[in-house]
Chains A and B, each alone.
Chain A
Amino acid sequence: MSTTTVPAAEPDSWAGHQPLPTVAPRSERALGIWVQQSLIQCKRLLIGWMRDPSTTIQTLVFPAATLIMFRIVLGDSIQLATGRPAIYGFVPMVMLVAAMSGSIVSALGFKVEKMTGLLGRFHTMPIHRAAGLTGRLLAEAVRVLITSLFVLAVGVCLGFRFWYGFPAAVAMMAIPILFAVGFAVMVTALATLTEGVMLVSIIGIVQTLLMFFNSGFVPVYAYPTWLQATVQNQPMSTAIDAMRGLSYDGPIATPLWKTVAWTVGMIVVFAYPAVRGYRRAAETGA
């Protein structure tokens, strides 16, 4: 733009404005455009979250406080009863819970965007149709990574260590992100279907149940016998087992495959409703 030097006679006819640069027409369906615009959407959401103090508190302070509370209140009692440090269950558990509660906040933000007409406006512009959804999922992944790193830092202060070196650590940190993307697809699909208040109540109750009944809280054998199979195979437990295996002790392969199966399953089941719901929200938004 700075390259167009305006001739002396021109300013009158342009009333002092520079002529607009000519841009080659681009298809809004091109793959490159999709990637580019997803990144723009992702950046937009991240900047919005960063500047909103309540989101910052939600993503950083709450998980850290929860982890510290669990460690102080139950850490010693659980170690006494089970004979192994509880922190290797708490850190993964808090990471996953933070990923889930964050995606609920994100789903509420999505509803606000629909209500204020932002989604509808995007839909009238030459933007790749999938960029809104993928940008949101990407932003989710980045947020979960930041939260998980913060939780990890607090966890290290409380005695959490990696016993299998750097590659295992990276693999462990990838699991919450994987989990969060699957969960976010599900929540997005539900958010396009239901009303806000009920959504928060229902997902809140499900999330609380998942939080109490997983293998990171207390070992599976501490639950009643009839409940053990459910607790062991629910998505949070498999993810926690895999993460514990990668950082401290325990099987890795089986829980890892189960986690991947859960995530892929959630994405397969809820991707189509999410895409359809997102599209409908964009088309019918105020």
Chain B
Amino acid sequence: MTAVDNGSAADLFAGVPPARPHSFAQWRALTGRIVWVMATKGELVVAVIVPLVFTLGFYLPLKYVMQFKGIHYEQFVMPIIVLQTMSFTMMSNAQLAAFEAMTGLNTRMQTMPIGRMVPLVSRQSAGFVRSVVSLIAALAWGHMIGFRFVAGWGQAVLFCAFSLAVGTVLAIGADGLGSLTKSPESLSQALTLPTLIFGMLSCGFVPESGFPAWVRPFVRNQPISQFSFALRDMADHGVTWQVFWVPLVWLIGAAVVFTPFAVWASVRRS
């Protein structure tokens, strides 16, 4: 009403409370948005079912084969199922980042008074929610086939924390790729092949002695195998520092490489 008198545009917003952009509220809003979509569009259901498919698909057919090597396969195979589940989170996060970059949401966010890191952090937080759901589901299905935490609560918590850390670091790298390529289709192809190679050529399904001799050095030392060694020990009899430092170095190294890359890919203006 007061604006009628002088007709100045500045008074148009006179009744509106002053905006107080706050990164925490922005993070909460953006995270809630993604989680809500995940919950309502059936993605969380898929996140629960996928570990079941992996669990049954790896365990039932190979249990018999592995008996010949004297392996209790339910304890043996669980780490790789958890890691596969985490790679599924990585895929979803990559798709999400690529989709947001492709549809121009990122560009729009950059034009608004939103903290520079907020979109990236909220994508990661939503991915973390998905990881937690998947991990709980994977452990529940694993319990069904006979997987147990023998080494006590501390090691069990370490198992969960380490799995989630692996999932988060992978998701950060995939997020960077997604923001950069802006193409969900080609990205899912680009990630499937490394996932297949590192997942299969690891000591997750088959002990090192099951591989041909020429490929064993790679199999033994590559990160997924090392992760599976550590996780297996955490579930079985407790991990020692001798076993744990190699996967930890891999994980920290990956985080050191991926994080600046993801930040750069997310905040740069294209």
Residues of A within 8 A of B (CB): 54, 57-58, 61-62, 65-66, 69-70, 72-74, 76-78, 80-82, 197-198, 201, 205, 208-209, 211-213, 217-218, 221-224, 227
Is B158 on the interface with A (CB-CB < 8 A)? no
Q: How far is the CA of A88 from the CA of B64 in the complex (A)?
A: 19
For window 50-89 of B, CB contacts with A under 8 Å fall at 50, 53, 56-58, 60-69
CB pair B57 A209 closer than 8 Å: yes
Is B210 on the interface with A (CB-CB < 8 A)? yes
Is B242 on the interface with A (CB-CB < 8 A)? no
* List of 8 A-B pairs having minimum Cβ-Cβ separation, nearest first: A212-B57, A222-B64, A69-B200, A81-B65, A81-B68, A77-B210, A218-B61, A73-B200
CB pair A198 B201 closer than 8 Å: no
Q: Is the interface of A mostly helix, strand, loop or mixed?
A: helix
CB pair B189 A217 closer than 8 Å: no
Q: How far is the CA of A17 from the CA of B53 in the complex (A)?
A: 64
B199 to chain A, nearest CB (A): 9
Task: Decide: A69 near B61, CB < 8 A? Known: A62-B192, A205-B49, A205-B50.
Answer: no
CB pair B46 A201 closer than 8 Å: yes
List of B residues within 8 angstroms of A217 by Cβ? 61
Number of cross-chain contacts by CB at 8 Å: 90
For window 20-68 of B, CB contacts with A under 8 Å fall at 41-42, 46, 49-50, 53, 56-58, 60-68
Q: How far is the CA of A221 from the CA of B62 in the complex (A)?
A: 11
CB pair A72 B215 closer than 8 Å: yes
Name the residue on A nearest B210 (C-beta): A77
CB pair A80 B201 closer than 8 Å: no
Residues of B within 8 A of A (CB): 41-42, 46, 49-50, 53, 56-58, 60-69, 185-186, 189, 192-193, 196-197, 200-201, 205-206, 210-212, 215
CB pair B61 A77 closer than 8 Å: no
Q: A62-B196, A205-B50 are in contact. List 14 more A-B contacts (CB 8 A).
A: A54-B185, A66-B196, A73-B210, A74-B62, A74-B210, A77-B69, A78-B65, A201-B46, A208-B53, A209-B53, A209-B56, A217-B61, A218-B65, A223-B60
Q: How far is the CA of A76 from the CA of B210 in the complex (A)?
A: 6
CB pair B60 A224 closer than 8 Å: yes
CB pair A77 B65 closer than 8 Å: yes
Q: How far is the CA of A77 from the CA of B210 in the complex (A)?
A: 6
CB pair A198 B42 closer than 8 Å: yes
Q: How far is the CA of A227 from the CA of B61 in the complex (A)?
A: 10
Name the residue on B nearest A76 (C-beta): B210
